[in-house]
Amino acid sequence: MFKKITFVSSFIIFFSNPFNIFAQDLKEQNWIGKNSKNLSELWELGDEYHRGTFLITTYKPIYLTVAKYSTNPNEFPVAENSTKVLDAPLSLNAVEAKFQVSLKTKIFHNMLDGHMDLWMGYSQTAYWQIYNTERSRPFRELNYQPEIIANFPVKFKFLGFDLKMVGAAIIHESNGQSDPISRSWNRIAFHAGFERNNWQIMLKPWIRIGSKIDDNENISDYIGRGEANITYDLGRQRFRAIARHSLNYGAKSRGSIQLNWSFPIFENFNGHLQLFDGYGETLIDYNHRQTTIGIGVSLIN
């Protein structure tokens, strides 16, 4: 027990502090920018926010979850339309680590007579069985998500909210594995971003594109066909909810909810609590339901 506590403590010190220092250094150099408080800063909506092209900035939150517990680890992942299965169940710990890195850069500014910006984004989420000594602490799953984003700044009032932006993106997501645990899909996603005081709402429906004969043809019936991303800022605290749904009813009414709380500990060191329930926390788990809770540090909100 003492060895396990010592190892966990070392993990927290080794990963959290350097990552936080690294993120702070990048903030000071304006490479990834500060924690943006509004959509105008995050997406440079207006010439007063423009910082040039090919400057790397943050996209989705960057965080490190030191320990994440699952009520139902997926030890036998199976794609419903696949003829290939694992020879034996995976030996997984219910507790693992998780971290996410997400960056973007503007590649064209003021296209279409000044009405559109074109961005490239890249997000990567890792699920690390760091406490699984029997399997030499492997990475259970890595999800890669590159995308091309067309964004249109707008000014429009809707139900008391300011509609700040609309746009579309071509998104590829995969786990880089081979059969029988290969998972991938492509989407065209549409988005609309709203703000009101300390609230931000991003609505994002999408359409699955590509061949129907693949590793996970029915992924939209589990992960969903759209999401609502709602953020509320309370001082230095940030609350975020991400809800996805299949837009089906009855037995096929599936989806997920993820709740996040980022809170200050001292100076630029922020804690992060995450709760997830539903399908598709990872691509390999797209048709597997579980509830997870994790605690860690938030580097960039």
Question: What CA–CA distance (Å, rounded) separates 79 from 283?
Answer: 10
**Is residue 19 within 8 Å of 64, Cβ to Cβ?**
yes
Other CB atoms closer than 10 Å to residue 1's CB: what's the count? 5
Active site residues: 172, 174
Q: What is the 3-state secondary structure (H, E, C) of 6-50?
A: HHHHHHHHHHHHHHHHHHHHHHHCCCCCCCCCCHHHHHCCCHHHC
| All residues at 6 or more sequence positions from 51 whose CB lies less than 8 Å from its CB, including other chains | 30, 33, 44, 57
Question: What CA–CA distance (Å, rounded) separates 283 from 187?
Answer: 14
Residue 182 assigned as binding residue: yes
Residue 285 assigned as binding residue: no
Phi-psi region of 229 (alpha: psi -120 to 50; beta: other; left: phi over 0): beta
| All residues at 6 or more sequence positions from 126 whose CB lies less than 8 Å from its CB, including other chains | 98, 99, 100, 139, 141, 142, 143
Q: Where are the alpha helices (DSSP H) in the chain?
A: 2-28, 39-43, 111-114
| All residues at 6 or more sequence positions from 196 whose CB lies less than 8 Å from its CB, including other chains | 160, 161, 162
* Terminal-residue alpha carbon distance, the chain: 34
**Is residue 275 within 8 Å of 256, Cβ to Cβ?**
no
In the structure encoding, which two tokens stand for residue 145, read together? 């998500």
Which residues participate in the annotated binding site? Answer: 136, 182, 215
Which residues participate in the annotated binding site for Ca(2+)? Answer: 136, 182, 215
